[in-house]
């Protein structure tokens, strides 16, 4: 956190007084010199998760079939046979504009997109988990905002069988359980009410035979399941109890994207010096300079943080252009003083993979010195006491001196203080 320190002159020394670092000095006249700031603040952590402004308000959405809280049975299944899974046609009423697209999610996973052609919209053949409750959501395609929800339960007198993890349709590198440099792998969990010790089968695209895992306390865990190379994988679980009754989960589709977007910082370069004449926005106080980068994360955001300075862009980010060879630039403000700092740049693709870059030892020209306390790091009663005349500056325990000279004819009680300056 930056500490502001004012430098000036003390009142003439009064010989009979002994002043220590832990005493509050008599306030002197205010120095006409300018303030200086420490530039060692923490860097920001924004990684460009925003994708720009929202494309519009949510349309109204009402679930017609099924209605919310409905309980569906064998007669509602498309082929009236729950042992091979449960499928159902979902219908909603909406005032969404003709030609717009809506997306249906079940338990947080996308199951279909359709184009609006009238006041009602249908999603055919939507699969639900047997013996379990499912949550339905409607969103505008490409948005993360939910416009309507409903819950539905399926009761066909067959075992409960539901893939509960992963919870998202799109998986990125952070979801991988494999080691660095290894092909992408993740873990699956199936919830069921079949007997402990019974095996659950998990079918996955590209796997010749289903994977098997034993049930324990209502869950079957499949660890380190390889999903490689990146792409779409279709999974389905089958749960068979001791009586031979079969329950099947909904068919779930997972898209794996484990590759971070490209990110090439164009400016400034390492060891750059930002001149006073290089201000790119005179309407903003201080000196502004552009941080520019290129990325293939089109439509996403590239963000910059500069040792705690505040970018002119309220979000600290700029849109990534459609072309990976076009710069995206963010205006940032020079910190006070001319101490070196690091520029950090980041972006994130639609899957959530983050790319980062940095530029070290950037300086801004300034008539103000930069000051940072370097010793002692904290108050220490064992620190040797200064001599009767010592050159000191403040620590976190010292008052804000208005002079670089401190006179103490008697031994003070506070530690020696020192500055690093540029």
Which domains are seen in the chain, by residue range?
61-154 (2.60.40.10), 161-256 (2.60.40.10), 263-364 (2.60.40.10)
Number of C-beta neighbours around residue 350 at 10 A: 15
Tell me how far apart the alpha carbons of residues 113 and 135 are, in angstroms, rounded to a whole number: 17
Q: Write out the chain's pLDDT in tens, 422 residues.
A: 444 444 343 333 333 333 333 444 444 433 333 333 333 333 344 455 444 444 458 999 999 999 999 999 999 999 999 989 999 999 999 999 999 999 999 999 999 999 999 999 999 999 999 999 999 999 999 888 999 999 999 999 999 999 999 999 999 999 999 988 899 999 999 999 999 999 999 999 888 899 999 999 999 999 999 999 999 999 999 999 999 999 999 999 999 999 999 999 999 999 999 988 888 988 888 888 999 999 999 999 999 987 655 566 555 899 999 999 999 999 888 888 788 888 999 999 999 999 999 999 999 887 665 555 556 655 455 445 544 444 444 444 444 433 333 334 444 455 555 555 55
3-state secondary structure the chain: CCCEECCCCCCCCCCCCCCCCCCCCCCCCCCCCCCEECCCCCCCCCCCCCCCCCCCCCCCEEEEECCCCEEECHHHCCCCCHHHCEEEEEEEEECCCCCCEEEEEECCEEEEEEECCCCEEEEEEEEECECCEEEEEEEECCCCCEEEEEEEEECCCCCCEEEEECCCCEECHHHCCCCCCCCCEEEEEEEECCCCCCEEEEEECCCCCCEEEEEECCEEEEEEEECCCCEEEEEEEEEECCCCCEEECCCEEEEECCCCCCEEEEECCCCCEECHHHCCCCCCCCCEEEEEEEECCCCCEEEEEECCECCCCCCCEEECCCCCCCCEEEEEECCCCCCCEEEEEEEECCCCCEEEEEEEEEEECCCCCCEEEEECCCCCCCCCCCCCEEECCCCCCCCCCCCCEEECCCCCCCCCCEEEEC
pTM of the predicted model as reported, rounded to 2 decimal places: 0.66
């Amino acid at each position: 956190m930056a500490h502001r320190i004012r430098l000036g002159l003390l009142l003439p020394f009064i010989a009979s007084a002994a002043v220590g670092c832990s005493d509050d000095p008599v306030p002197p006249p205010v120095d006409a010199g300018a303030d200086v700031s420490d530039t060692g603040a923490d860097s920001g952590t924004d990684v460009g998760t925003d994708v720009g402004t929202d494309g519009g308000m949510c349309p109204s959405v009402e679930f017609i079939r099924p209605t919310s809280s409905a309980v569906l049975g064998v007669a509602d299944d498309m082929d009236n046979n729950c042992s091979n899974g449960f499928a159902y046609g979902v219908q909603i009423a909406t005032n969404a504009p003709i030609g717009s697209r809506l997306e249906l999610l079940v338990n947080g996973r996308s199951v279909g997109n359709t184009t609006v052609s009238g006041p009602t919209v249908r999603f055919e053949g939507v699969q639900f988990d047997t013996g379990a409750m499912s949550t339905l959501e409607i969103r505008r395609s490409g948005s993360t905002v939910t416009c309507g929800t409903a819950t539905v339960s399926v009761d066909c007198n067959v075992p409960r069988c539901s893939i509960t993890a992963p919870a998202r349709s799109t998986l990125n590198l952070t979801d991988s359980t494999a080691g660095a440099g290894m092909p992408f792998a993740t873990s699956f969990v199936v919830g069921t009410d079949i007997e402990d010790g019974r095996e659950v089968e998990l079918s996955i695209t590209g796997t010749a035979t289903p994977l098997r895992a034993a049930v324990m306390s209502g869950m079957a865990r499949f660890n380190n399941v390889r999903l490689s190379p990146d792409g779409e994988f279709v999974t389905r679980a089958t749960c068979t109890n001791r009586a031979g009754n079969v329950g099947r989960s909904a068919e779930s589709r997972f898209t794996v994207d484990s590759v971070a977007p490209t990110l090439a910082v164009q400016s400034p370069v390492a060891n750059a010096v930002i001149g006073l004449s290089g201000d790119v926005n005179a309407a903003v106080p201080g000196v502004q300079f552009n941080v520019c980068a290129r990325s293939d994360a089109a439509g996403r955001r590239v963000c910059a943080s500069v040792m705690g300075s505040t970018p002119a862009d309220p979000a600290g980010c700029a849109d990534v252009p459609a072309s990976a060879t076009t710069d995206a630039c963010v205006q940032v403000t020079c910190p006070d003083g001319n101490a070196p700092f690091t520029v950090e740049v980041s972006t994130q693709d639609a899957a959530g993979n983050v790319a980062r870059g940095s530029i070290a030892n950037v300086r801004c020209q300034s008539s103000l010195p930069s000051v940072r306390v370097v010793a002692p790091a904290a108050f220490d009663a064992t620190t040797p006491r200064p001599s009767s005349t010592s050159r000191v500056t403040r620590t976190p325990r010292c008052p804000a001196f208005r002079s670089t000279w401190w006179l103490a004819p008697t031994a003070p009680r506070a530690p020696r203080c020192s500055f690093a300056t540029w």
